[in-house]
Structure 1
Amino acid sequence: MEQSEAANRLNFLKSFIGKEIEGSPSPYMNWLKPVVLSAAPGSLQFSYVVRKEMTNPYGTLHGGVTAGIIDDLIGATVYSLGLQDAFTTVNNAIDYFAPAREGDLIVAQTTIVKRGRSVINLQCEIFLPAKDRLIAKGYSNMMNIG
């Protein structure tokens, strides 16, 4: 069952390559409006345009939205594996390196660092391609909750 479910979930994501995702099971992802750049088992790459409602009073990407992008994309990465059990975030550790501003295109990419039986450790890097700059990097542990 895991393989066919993984294929279904991965195919759903791949169907949006080059397009804004719609109908995600994550309402937050639908609000973020990412464009899928690539989708492979254990690794996703999405782009986002920083909208006004994603910024702080200084006009830069809000740290909470950055954290939300990281958490949401890491969750989608685990979802794409097609695992029968549900997983939830145990922790997030995020380093912020540079700002992004309203109108900027940012790219986020995930990878699995280590996959155990009950915990999967993943990372997500967010780049500002126009400036070839890493703006944030986060790690998260996702725990099997059955």
Structure 2
Amino acid sequence: MEPNEQVLAYLNQNLHKKIADGNPAPIGKWLDGTLVKAEAGKLTAEFIVRPDQLNHAGVIHGGVISAMLDEMMGMTLITAKIDHLYVTINLYIDFLYGAKANEVITVTTEIHRVGKKIANVEAKLHNAEGKLLAKGVSNLAATSIPFSF
């Protein structure tokens, strides 16, 4: 995987800032994460679990976890030199433990493969103590939409 040096430079200049500041996706703004580390093929972001992200049992909703992992895996792809935008074609998640309101959770991602048509990316979600709360993997397909930065 060849790194996208321009994107990486931008991300590293914006560490510890809200991801939404440079993200055109409304879901990214709603998730309200903070980028803490960026390198070629890998990202780390922190999120604070909000009350509006909880399910009826008082823990973070599985759909919110899915959105966090999916958004971060897609964002990780732009750290690689790609010609087109990619979209998720499948998303497999293991939900292991929950998190309550006001907990800080961390998503880490890693690209395993970027091909001409398909990319494979993995994400993990941990709590502040380092406990693995969820893990996921996704295959993403290249679209006809050119990527430019």
| TM-score, with structure 2 as normaliser | 0.88
Quote how far apart the aligned CAs of 1:89 are.
0.5
Structure 1 Cα separation of the partners of residues 36 and 95 of structure 2: 23
SS in 1 for 2:106: strand
The aligned residue for residue 18 of structure 1 is 16
Partner of 1:48: 47
TM-score normalized by the length of structure 1: 0.89
1:101 paired residue number: 100
> Who is 1:35 aligned against?
34
Paired AA for residue 96 in structure 2: F
Distance 2:86 2:67 in 1: 16
Structure 2 unmatched ranges of 5 or more: 145-149
Q: Is the 8 A contact 2:36 2:45 kept in 1?
A: yes
Contact 1:23 1:30 in 2 (8 A): no
Pairwise mapping of residues 1-146 of structure 1 onto structure 2 (< 5 A)?
6-21=4-19, 22-130=21-129, 132-146=130-144
Runs (4+) off by over 3 Å: none
Point out the more displaced range, 51-60 or 101-110.
51-60
Note if contact 1:93-1:138 (Cα within 8 Å) is conserved in structure 2: yes
State the shift of 1:53 in Å. Answer: 1.0
C-alpha distance in structure 2 between counterparts of 1:84 and 1:127, whole Å: 32
Provide the alpha-carbon RMSD of the alignment: 1.6
The answer on whether the counterparts of 1:114 and 1:120 sit within 8 Å (CA) in structure 2 is: yes
Post-superposition offset of 1:80: 2.7
**How many residues are paired up?**
142
State the Cα distance separating 1:117 from its structure 2 match.
2.2
**Partners of 2:39 and 2:22 in 1: CA distance:** 19
> 2:47 is paired with a residue of what secondary structure?
strand
State the AA in 2 paired with 1:69. M
The 8 Å contact of residues 104 and 127 in structure 2, kept in 1 or not, is answered as yes
